[in-house]
Structure 1
Amino acid sequence: MAESVKVAVRVRPFNDREKNRNSTVIINMVGNQTEIKDPENLSADPRRFSFDFSYWSHDEFKERPDGYLEPTGTKYADQQTVFNDLGKGIIDNAWKGYNCSLFAYGQTGSGKSYSVVGYGKNQGIVPLFCDDLFDGIEKKRSTAGENEEYQVSLSMLEIYNEQVRDLLNPKTIAIKGGLKVRQDPKKGFYVEQMTLKQVNSYEEIDSKINEGTRNRTVASTNMNATSSRAHTIIGINFTQKCPNDVGESMTRTSIVNLVDLAGSERADSTGATGDRLKEGSAINKSLSTLGNVIKALADQSTGNKKVVVPYRDSTLTKLLQNALGGNSKTIMIAALSPADINYEETLSTLRFADRAKAIKTTATVNESPTDKLIRELREENAKLMEMIKSGGITLPIGGGGGGYTTDGKLHITGLSTI
Structure 2
Amino acid sequence: MDPVSQATKLLVPNDTDPANSRLKMRKVMEEKQFTFDNSFWSHDKADEHYAHQEDVYNSLGEEFLDHNFEGYHTCIFAYGQTGSGKSYTMMGNQEQPGLIPRTCQDLFQRIEAVDEPNITYNVRVSYFEVYNEHVRDLLVPRQDPPHYLKIRESPTEGPYIKDLTDAPVKSISEIMRYMKMGDLSRTTASTKMNDTSSRSHSVFTIMLKQIHHDMDTDETTERTARIRLVDLAGSERAKATEATGTRLREGSNINKSLTTLGRVIAALADPKSSRNGASKRNKDVVPYRDSILTWLLKDSLGGNSKTAMIACIAPADYDETLSTLRYADQAKRIRTRAKVNQDHVSAAEREAEIANMAEQIRMLEHQLSMTETRKKDVGAEKLAEERVEEYQNQVGKLQRLMEERSMVADGKIKTLQTENEALRLHLKLALDTLKNPIPEVPSVRRSISGEDIPLFSTDRGLDKENMEFVDEGQEGHAEHVYEDEDEGDDDHHEKATEMQDHMQDLLKDLGMFRRKIVDDKSRFLSPLMERINR
> Structure 1 length normalisation: TM-score?
0.74
Q: Is the 8 A contact 2:222 2:344 kept in 1?
A: no
Q: How far, CA to CA, are the matches of 2:72 and 2:329 in structure 1?
A: 25
Instruction: Please tell me whether residue 360 in structure 1 is matched to residue 335 in structure 2.
Output: yes
Counterpart residue identity of residue 191, structure 1: I
Confirm or deny: 8 A CA contact 2:221 2:344 kept in the other structure. Answer: no
Q: Distance in 2 between matches of 1:93 and 1:246?
A: 28
2:157 matched to which residue of 1? Answer: 187
Q: Could you tell me whether the CA contact under 8 Å between 1:29 and 1:35 is conserved in 2?
A: no
Aligned to 1:283: 254
Q: Counterparts of 1:359 and 1:369 in 2: how far apart (Å)?
A: 31
In the TM superposition, residue 186 of structure 1 has moved relative to its aligned partner by 1.4
Match of 2:116 in 1: 144
Which of 36, 61, 72 is matched with 1:51 structurally?
Answer: 36
Q: Distance in 1 between matches of 2:144 and 2:220?
A: 40
Q: Which amino acid aligns with 2:184?
A: R
SS at match of 1:264: coil
Whether the 8 Å CA contact 1:165–1:172 is kept in 2: the answer is no
Partner of 1:209: 179
Q: Does the Cα contact within 8 Å between 1:116 and 1:125 map onto a contact in 2?
A: yes
Given candidates 114, 126, 130, the residue that maps to 2:88 is 114
- Counterpart AA for 2:210: Q
Cα offset for 1:338?
2.1
Aligned to 1:350: 325
- Displacement, 1:44? 6.1
More helix per residue: 1 or 2?
A: 2
Residues 13-412 of structure 1 mapped to structure 2, 5 A cutoff: 31-39=5-13, 45-61=30-46, 73-140=47-114, 143-145=115-117, 147-170=118-141, 174=145, 178-243=148-213, 247=217, 248-299=219-270, 300-301=272-273, 303=275, 305=279, 306-307=281-282, 308-339=285-316, 342-368=317-343
C-alpha distance in structure 2 between counterparts of 1:151 and 1:272, whole Å:
45
The residue identity in structure 1 corresponding to 2:340 is V
Whether the 8 Å contact between 1:156 and 1:212 is mirrored in structure 2 is: yes
Q: Which residue identity is paired with 1:249? A: T
Tell me how far apart the structure 1 counterparts of residues 223 and 136 of structure 2 sit (CA, whole Å). Answer: 29
TM-score, length-scaled by structure 2: 0.59
Q: Structure 1 residue 29: deviation in Å?
A: 6.7
CA gap of 1:45–1:131, structure 2 versus 1, over 3 A, is same
Structure 2: how far apart are the matches of 1:185 and 1:243? 30
How much does 1:369 deviate? 5.3
**Residues in 2 aligned to 1:148 and 1:29: alpha-carbon distance in whole angstroms:** 41
* Post-superposition CA distance 1:201-226 (Å, at most 9, x none): 11111111111111100000111110
Question: Would the alpha carbon gap of residues 320 and 79 (structure 1) be closer, same or farther in structure 2, given more than 3 Å must change?
Answer: same
| Counterparts of 1:120 and 1:84, CA distance in 2 | 18
CA distance in structure 2 between the aligned counterparts of 1:99 and 1:328, rounded to whole angstroms: 5
Q: Which amino acid aligns with 1:59?
A: D
Q: What CA distance in whole angstroms lies between the structure 1 residues aligned with 2:3 and 2:162?
A: 44
Q: Tell me by how many angstroms 1:234 deviates.
A: 0.2
Work out the number of aligned pairs and report it.
328
Give the superposition deviation at 1:31: 3.0
Contact kept in structure 2, 1:301 and 1:360, CA below 8 Å = no
In 2, Cα distance between the equivalents of 1:245 and 1:89? Answer: 31
Going from structure 1 to structure 2, the CA distance change for 1:28 and 1:343 (only over 3 Å counts) comes to farther
Higher alpha-carbon deviation: 159-168 or 44-53: 44-53
Could you tell me how far 1:59 is from its partner in structure 2?
A: 0.8
Contact kept? 2:122, 2:168, Cα under 8 Å: yes
Q: Which has the larger radius of gyration?
A: 2
State the distance in 2 between where 1:80 and 1:216 align: 25
Cα RMSD over matched residues? 2.1
Q: Which amino acid aligns with 2:239?
A: D
The one-letter code sitting in structure 1 at the alignment partner of 2:310 is: I
Report the secondary structure of 1:56's partner residue: coil
Whether the 8 Å contact between 1:298 and 1:355 is mirrored in structure 2 is yes
Gaps of 5+ in 1: 1-26, 62-72, 372-418
**What's the CA shift for 1:75?**
1.2
For 1:110 and 1:133, locate their aligned partners in 2 and report how far apart those are by CA, in whole Å. Answer: 28
**Aligned mates of 1:187, 1:174 — CA distance in 2:** 31
* Cα-to-partner distance string for 1:121-170 (whole Å, 9 max, x where unaligned): 20111111111100001011xx212x321111110000000000000013
Structure 2 distance, partners of 1:202, 1:271, is: 42
**How far apart, CA to CA, are the structure 2 residues paired with 1:360 and 1:198?**
32
Alpha-carbon distance change, 44 to 109 in structure 1, aligned in 2, over 3 angstroms: closer
The alignment-based identity, stated in percent, is 48
